[in-house]
Amino acid sequence: MVNCIHKFGGSSLSSSERYQSVAKIIITHTQPGDCVVVSAAGKTTDTLVLLWQSYQKQDTQAVADILLQLNNHQSDLIEQLLEADLKRSALKTLSIELSYIAELAQAEQLKEAALLAHGELWSARLLSTYLQQLNIEACAQDARTLFTLNDGELMHAQNAQQCGQLILPNKINVVTGFIAADIKGETVTLGRNGSDYSATLLANYCNAKQVCIWTDTQGVYSTDPRKVKKAIKYGKICRGQANLLARLGNPVLHAKTLSPLKNTDIKLAVRSSFDVQASPTDIVKEGSAKKKRFITTLQNVDLLMVEGLSEGEVASVSQLIQHSLHHFNHNGDVYLVVPAAQTYLVINYFAGRANISESNLNGCAIVAPEQDVNTLSLQALDLLKLHSIKPRFVHQDTGYALLLTDQFIDSDIQSDLHDKLINKGQEIAIIVAGLGNVGDVFIKQLSAQFERLSDDFSIKLVGLIRSKKMLFNASGINTQQWKTQWQHEANSYQSADLLNAINELDYEHKIVIDITASEQFSLLYPDFVDRNCHLISANKYAGTAPTTWYKALRSNITERNLHWRYNTSVGAGLPINFALADLQNSGDKITRIEGVFSGTLSWLCSKYDGTRPFSELLLEAQKMGFTEPDPREDLSGRDMQRKLLILARELGVELELDDISLSALMPDELALGSWDDFLNKKAQLDAFIEEHAVTAKSKNLVLRYTGLLEITQGEVIAKVGIAYVPNGDALANLTPGDNIFVINSKWYSDNALVIQGPGAGREVTAAGVHSDLYWLVQNLK
Ligand SMILES: NC(=O)C1=CN([C@@H]2O[C@H](COP(=O)(O)OP(=O)(O)OC[C@H]3O[C@@H](n4cnc5c(N)ncnc54)[C@H](OP(=O)(O)O)[C@@H]3O)[C@@H](O)[C@H]2O)C=CC1
Ligand SMILES: N[C@@H](CC=O)C(=O)O
C-alpha cells in the first residue's frame, strides 16, 4: 500500500551532501511501498538542453565539452556517495551511457526526449543505489514503464494497472520524474517541472494518501520571499487558489501538478528539504482552508486575443510550450497570457485565430478572497499610480485581479503593494501559556489591546495553557469570559497535543506568549519556531539556556523572519532591553551595567528594618505577585543571575549561567527540599538576614542585593550577590520594589544613564508583555 509519494527537485539533489540529506529524510519519513520521485540533479536538465541545442547546431566541439561536463558532475556524485563495487559498477554504466550518447550524436540519431530523460534516470539510479548501500530496501523505477501516453494523452486506466503491478510494496521505489513513454515505447516528457506532475499522477494511480513536494523553499508564500522580506508563509491554502497562483506567476506549484488530485482526498504538502523541521504548506481541498491574499508578479508576457478557443486547447498549448497558461474572458473576448519568448509558438498553434493584443508586458496579479478583490484592485491601482506606473490592461475575475503594464515592477514596489494590500487585515492567533499572577492580568488587558491593534489586524486569542490543562479554540476564545470557558472546555494535554493544535491553526501569524516560569515549557520553543510562531517571553529559561541551544534557536528565528521579544524577563515593564538595543544600534558601546535587577529582593531589602521577620516579608512579597513561583529562585540569586545573563547576551557577550558568580541571600541548605520544608526552617533565613543587616549597620551601611556586568578590553566581570551599600547611594535609596540599572557606555562614561522603576508586580509586568506584543504586531506590518 502506497502511503506517500515524496518528490525531490533538482536543487534538493544538487550535490553529494544534498543526496545524503535526502536519504536522511527518506529514512525518517517513508515506509516500505512509498515512492520517491526525483528530478535531474542540480542544473542537469539545463545542461542536457544545451547539449541538444549544440547537437542540433552540429557543434561537435560543444557536444564533446558538454558530455565531459556531464560525466564530471555525475562521476563526482558517484565517487562521493558510493563505495567499492557499487561505485565501480555505477561509473562503468555511466561511461557506457555517455559513449552511447556520443555515438548517437555522431550518427545524427539523437532524440530530444530520450536525451533529456538521462537526468532523471541518473538521479533515480544513484539515489536508490545509495539507499541500498545504507541497507535500505530500495529500487529504481523507470517511469517509462509506469506512464504511457497515446497521442499526447495519458492512458489512465492502463497506467494505474502498470503502477499497481510494478510499484514494489516492500521497497522504497525511487521513480524518475518528468518522463513517460508513448505507445511505441518511445520516450516522451511531461513538460518542464513535470516531476511534480509525475508525483501527483503516481499518487492518483497508486491511490496514495498524500504527496509531499520537497523543495528549496519552505512552502507557499504570500509573495516572493526573495524580493519581499515580509512575505508571509501560509500553513494552508486551498487548491483553487493554488491553481490560480500557478497560472499567474507563482513558481512554487504548477497548474498541471494539481490536476490529478481533483476529486480525490489525496493530501498535498510543500515543504523544505533544506529545513526539515519547518512546517509545510498544505494544499487542501476547497473549503478546508480560509482564502488567503497573494501578490504574484509577471514579467515579459504578451496578451493574445484568441478566437473560438475550445476546451482542451489551453492544456495542449501549455504542453506545447511547457508552461502554465492563464486564459480569461474580458469584455466578451478571450485572452491568453503567454511568456513573450513562446508567443510565436502559440500564434502558430492557433493558426490565424490568435493575435497579439498587447506585447512585452510586466505586471502583477492579486489573488484574494472574492469579496476583497475589487477593493484590493482599486488600492493597487492607486499605489501603482503613486509609483508612476500606468497599467495598460486591468482585468478582474473571480478571486483575482490582473494588472499589466509596460513598465517594470521592482521589488520596492512589490514590497509596498504587499505591505498595503496583503499585510492589512491579516489574522493573528495568540496563544498564552501561564495564567498565574501575570498571565491573568495580561488577559484582562487583552481586549483593550485588541482594539488598539484592530485597524490593521484581526487578532484572536486561540489558546490558553497551564501546566496540566489547555484550552484551544481556533475561532477564538472570549477574553472576558475565558474562565468560564476554561472550566467547561479545558482538557489535559501532552506537548504533542499542543503542537498539533498549533499546526492546525490557519492564521497568517501565530504568537506564543510564555508567562510561565517553566524550563520544560521553554524547551518547546524550537518546536514553536518550526511551526512559524513568533515568541514573547516573560519566562527567563530560554534566554539563559546553554549557548549552543540558545544560538540555534536565535538563528532559526532569524531564518524564518520571526520575532522573539522578552523585555519583561529583565526589569519587568521597564524598557531596559529597548534602551540597550537602541544605544547599540546608534553606535554606542556599553561597558558596565550595575544595579538591582530583582523587584522582590529590592522590596525585601528596602522593607526590612528588623521589626518584622524577613520570612514574613517574603510571604507578603509572594502574595503581592512579586516573587517567582518558588521564591527561593529569588533568594538564591538564581533569578537575578538569569537576568544578568540575558543582559550580557543583549550586549553580545557569550556567557553561560554558571559563569556569573553568585552568593545567595539565604543559607544554601534552604534551597533543598519542598516549599513546606523551607517554611519549617524559615527561622534560619531570618537569622541569616539579621546577621547581615547587623553587620552592615555596624559599618554604617545597608544590606542590598546587587548585580554587576563589566566589560573592559575583552575582560568580563559578571556577578550577583549580597552587597553592603552606603546610605546615600542610589542603590540604597530605592522605592521598595524598584529596579535600577546604572549604565556606563562610550557616551555615558562619567555620568551614567540610569533606568529606574518598579521591577516586579502583576500590572507592570503584564503591561510590559503588552508592550512586547504591540511592538511585535507593529513589526508585522
Ligand atoms: N511576577 C512578576 O512580577 C514578574 C514575573 N516575571 C516572569 O513571569 C513569569 C510568570 O510569573 P508569575 O505569573 O508570577 O508566575 P505564576 O506562578 O503565578 O504563574 C505561572 C503559570 O505558569 C503555568 N505553568 C507552569 N508550568 C507550566 C508548563 N510546563 N506549561 C504550561 N504552563 C505552565 C502555571 O500553571 P498552573 O496554574 O497549572 O500551575 C501558572 O499558570 C515567570 O517566568 C516570571 O519570572 C517577569 C517579570 C516580573
Ligand atoms: N521574581 C522576580 C519577578 C520578575 O522577574 C523579581 O522580583 O525580580
Note the pLDDT tens digit of each residue in 99-137: 999 999 999 999 999 999 999 999 999 999 999 999 999
Contact 362, 409 (CB under 8 A): yes
Are both 145 and 27 inside the same structural domain? Answer: yes
Within a domain: residue 725? Answer: yes
Residue 140 domain flag: yes
Choose among 386, 388, 422: nearest CA to 405.
388
550 C-alpha vs ligand 1 centroid, how far in Å? 21
Which CATH number does the domain housing residue 549 bear? 3.40.50.720
Polymer length in residues for the chain: 781
Residue to substitute in 597, 630, 634 for testing ligand 2 pocket (most ligand atoms within 8 angstroms of CB): 634
Domain boundary among 417, 436, 467: 417
> What pLDDT sits at residue 299?
92
C-alpha 660 to ligand 1 mean position (Å): 24
Q: How far is the CA of 748 from the centre of ligand 2 (A)?
A: 27
Rounded alpha-carbon distances, angstroms, from residue 210 to 6, 136, 230, 241, 428 = 9, 22, 30, 19, 29
Ligand 1: distance of its center to the CA of 676 in Å? 19
Domain boundary among 417, 451, 483: 417
Q: Give the DSSP per-residue string, 589-620.
A: -EEEEEEE--HHHHHHHHH-SSSS-HHHHHHH
**Do 528 and 462 belong to one domain?**
yes
Beta strands in 515-579 (DSSP E): 533-537, 564-565
Q: Report yes or no on 262 lying in a domain.
A: no
Do 726 and 605 sit in the same domain of this protein? yes
145: containing domain: 4-216
Both 92 and 167 in a single domain? yes
Nearest ligand 1 atom, CA 571: 47
> What does the pLDDT look like over 406-426, one tens digit per residue?
999 999 999 999 989 987 778
Residues 712 and 601 in one domain: yes
Q: Domain holding 749: CATH number?
A: 3.30.360.10
Tell me the CB-side half-sphere exposure of residue 576, using CA atoms within 13 A: 34
pLDDT at 77: 98
Domain assignment of residue 283, yes or no = no
The predicted pLDDT at position 249 comes to: 77
Q: Is 538 in the pocket of ligand 2 (CB under 6 A)?
A: no
> Which CATH number does the domain housing residue 159 bear?
3.40.1160.10
Residue 557 CB coordination number (10 Å): 19
ipTM here: 0.99
Looking at residues 385-397, what average pLDDT do you find?
95
Residue to substitute in 539, 600, 645, 734 for testing ligand 2 pocket (most ligand atoms within 8 angstroms of CB): 600
- Of the listed ligands, the closest to the CA of 627 is 2
Asked whether residue 586 falls in the same domain as residue 689, the answer is: yes
pLDDT over 70 for what percent of the chain? 100
Number of domains in the chain: 4
- 727 and 587 fall within a common domain: yes
How many of the other CB atoms lie within 10 Å of CB of 336? 24
What pLDDT does residue 291 have?
93
- Is 392 in the same domain as 431? no
Does residue 319 surpass a pLDDT of 80?
Answer: no
Q: Which atom of ligand 1 is nearest to the CA of 541?
A: 43
Spatial CA neighbour of 428 closest among 465, 463, 398: 463
Which run of H or of E encompasses 678? helix 675-680
Point out the catalytic residue in the list 643, 699, 719, 781.
643
- Determine, yes or no, domain membership for 265: no
559 and 487 fall within a common domain? yes
Q: Could you say which ligand is closest to the alpha carbon of residue 640? A: 2
Of 596, 606, 627, the residue with max ligand 2 atoms within 8 A of its CB, to mutate for a pocket test, comes to 627
Ligand 2 center to 627 CA (angstroms): 5
Which CATH number covers residue 390?
3.30.2130
Mutate to test the pocket of ligand 2, among 442, 514, 576, 598 (most ligand atoms within 8 A of CB): 598
| 402 and 448 belong to one structural domain | no
User: What are 12's strand-pairing partners?
Assistant: none
Q: How do residues 144-161 score in pLDDT, each as one tens digit?
A: 999 999 988 899 999 999
Mean pLDDT of 285-302: 92
What is the rounded CA–CA span in Å between residue 520 and residue 527? 13
pLDDT at position 617 over 80? yes
How confident is the model at residue 367, as a pLDDT? 96
> What is the pTM assigned to this prediction?
0.80
Q: Residue 318 above 90 pLDDT?
A: no
C-alpha span between 382 and 380 (Å, rounded) = 5
Q: Whose CA is nearest to atom 17 of ligand 1?
A: 629
Supply the residue whose CA is at minimum distance from atom 42 of ligand 1: 517
* Angle at 721 (CA atoms; ends 720, 727), nearest 5 degrees: 115
Distance between Cα 744 and ligand 2 center (Å): 24
Report the C-alpha gap between 251 and 549 in whole angstroms.
Answer: 35
Tell me the ligand closest to 539's alpha carbon.
Answer: 1
Nearest CA to ligand 2 atom 8: 598
Band the pLDDT of 641: cuts 50, 70, 90: very high
CB 207, CB 333: distance < 8 Å: no
Atom of ligand 2 at shortest distance to CA of 597?
8
CB 285, CB 228: distance < 8 Å? no
Q: What is the per-residue pLDDT across 477-513, written as a single tens digit (0 to 9) for each?
A: 999 999 999 999 999 999 999 999 999 999 999 999 9
- Choose one of 365, 384, 417: the last residue of a domain: 417
- Do 408 and 436 lie in one domain? The reply is no
Give every CB contact of residue 578 below 8 A, 6+ residues apart in sequence. 567
**Average pLDDT of the residues in 640-659:** 97
Percent share of the chain, pLDDT over 90: 88
Cβ proximity of 744 and 591 under 8 Å: yes
How does the average pLDDT of the chain come out, rounded?
A: 95
What average pLDDT does this structure show over 248-276?
88
726 band by pLDDT with thresholds 50, 70 and 90: very high
d(CA 5, CA 35): 5
Provide the pLDDT for residue 256. Answer: 83
Q: From the CA of 669, how far away is ligand 1's center (Å)?
A: 25
Tell me what pLDDT residue 324 has.
80
Q: Is the pLDDT of residue 691 over 80?
A: yes
Positive or negative torsion for Cα 652, 657, 661, 664: positive
pLDDT of residue 246: 87
Q: Is 626 in the pocket of ligand 2 (CB under 6 A)?
A: yes
What number is the average pLDDT over the span 211-222? 93
Residue that has been written with the C-alpha cell 552568593 in this structure: 663
Asked if residue 250 is part of any domain, the answer here is: no
Range list of β-strands (E), 440-571 = 457-465, 469-472, 491-492, 509-514, 533-537, 564-565
Measured from the CA of 568, which atom of ligand 2 is nearest?
5
The reply to whether 601 falls in a domain is yes
507 and 522, same domain (yes or no): yes
**Measured between alpha carbons, how far is 607 from 737 in angstroms, rounded to an integer?**
9
CB-CB contact of 49 with 78 (8 Å)? no
In eight-state DSSP terms, residue 12 is G
In a domain, 285, yes or no: no
Does residue 196 have its Cβ closer than 6 Å to ligand 2? no
Distance between Cα 440 and ligand 1 center (Å) = 10
Q: Any idea which ligand is nearest the CA of 629?
A: 1
- Ligand 1 shell residues, CB under 6 Å: 433-439, 465-468, 515-518, 520-521, 538-540, 568, 572, 599, 625-626, 628-629, 760-761, 765
Point out the ligand nearest to the CA of residue 438. Answer: 1
Tell me if residue 643 is catalytic: yes
Q: Which residue has the cell 528588623?
A: 610
Q: Which residue's CA is the nearest one to ligand 1's atom 39?
A: 467
